Amino acid sequence: MTATPGLGTVRPASPELLRSVFRRHAAGVAVITASGRRGPVGFTATSLASVSAEPPMLSFAVGTGGSSWPVIATSDHVGVHVLGEHQRELAATFARSGADRFGPATAWGEGPEGVPVLDGVPAWMVCKVVARVPAGDHRIVVAEVLLGDPAGHGRPLLYHQGRFNGLRD
């Protein structure tokens, strides 16, 4: 492979290269939840994507080394919550290893199919898991949307350059 002149500093593929490139990619922020035998689990995801309109399906990635993976690996249903710019601390809580994610600071309730549903989000969905696809140290979870509520308030929360940010006009 030859590099075209003027491309800047070209580096070989590595985890750091991937992280560096994706720090420049603004992504929406979601929290994925599920109910386990020991209680609810959840994590912050920036990999949420629409997959299909008919039937309505979405996907997200989950690390197999994360504390939520054992529950997500066996759950039939998950909750998907689109966070608003007013929920930076909630996003940070669900992203922090060892945090009490469903402690007193998190407003939530049991939703359809027993899925934990977070309060005050701009939008949420309950989904049936249809596939878990191996992808390196992650799994891509594909899920069919069963129901949800897109009518919450707030502008979207974004993740960019390692920080949670609001959308600018």
3-state SS of 6-48 is CCCCCCCCCHHHHHHHHHCCCEECEEEEEEECCEEEEEEECCC
Could you give the C-alpha distances from 89 to 47, 123, 131, 152, in angstroms and in order? 19, 17, 31, 18
Residue 1: pLDDT above 60?
no
pTM of the model: 0.92
Q: Please tell me what DSSP assigns to residue 103.
A: S
* pLDDT higher than threshold 80 for residue 4: no
Lowest mean pLDDT among 21-25, 30-34, 45-49: 21-25
| Sign of the dihedral through C-alpha 106, 168, 156, 120 | positive
Tell me which residue of 72, 55, 54 sits closest to 63, measured CA to CA: 72
- The strand ranges marked E within the chain are 27-28, 30-36, 39-45, 49-53, 56-63, 77-82, 108-110, 116-118, 123-135, 138-149, 157-160, 163-166
pLDDT for 119 beyond 90: yes
